[in-house]
Amino acid sequence: MFDREKLRREGMRWVLLMALNNSRPEDLVEAVIIMTIQSVYPDATQREVRRELDYLFDRKLVTIRKEPSGIWWCNLTRYGVDVAEYTVDCEPGIARPTKYWVS
């Protein structure tokens, strides 16, 4: 059997990294991040996206700037860029696809 929730969490983390990588060098506002996630996971909630962003923050892959208004702005750290670009190994917890192309 497979764990559907685990697959969703780890897949969502990868999509978050890709969205932030594509927005570099600019920070990405939470509303755009949520719309991006909902294009893959239509029922994703703000709370769920924030939980996964917080996970990536704890792993030092993203920075999060929380404004007093409640809006979050995010960007990749140097290490997050390396994970997104396949230049370092990716530890378990993120559903990074296997690199199948030759660099």
Where are the chain's structural domains?
A: 4-84
pLDDT digits 0-9 by tens, 24-47: 999 999 999 999 999 999 999 999
**CB-CB neighbours of 36 under 10 Å:** 20
Tokens representing residue 54 in the block: 């917080």
Q: Quick one: what percent of the chain has pLDDT higher than 70? A: 97
Tallying the residues shown for the chain, one arrives at 103
* pLDDT of res. 2: 76
Rg (CA), the chain: 13
Q: Return the residue matching tokens 């192309």.
A: 101
Tokens representing residue 45 in the block: 């909630």
Can you name the CATH fold of 4-84? Arc Repressor Mutant, subunit A (1.10.10)
* Short-list 12, 92, 76, CA closest to 44: 12
Tell me: pLDDT of 6 over 80. Answer: yes
* pLDDT of res. 99: 84
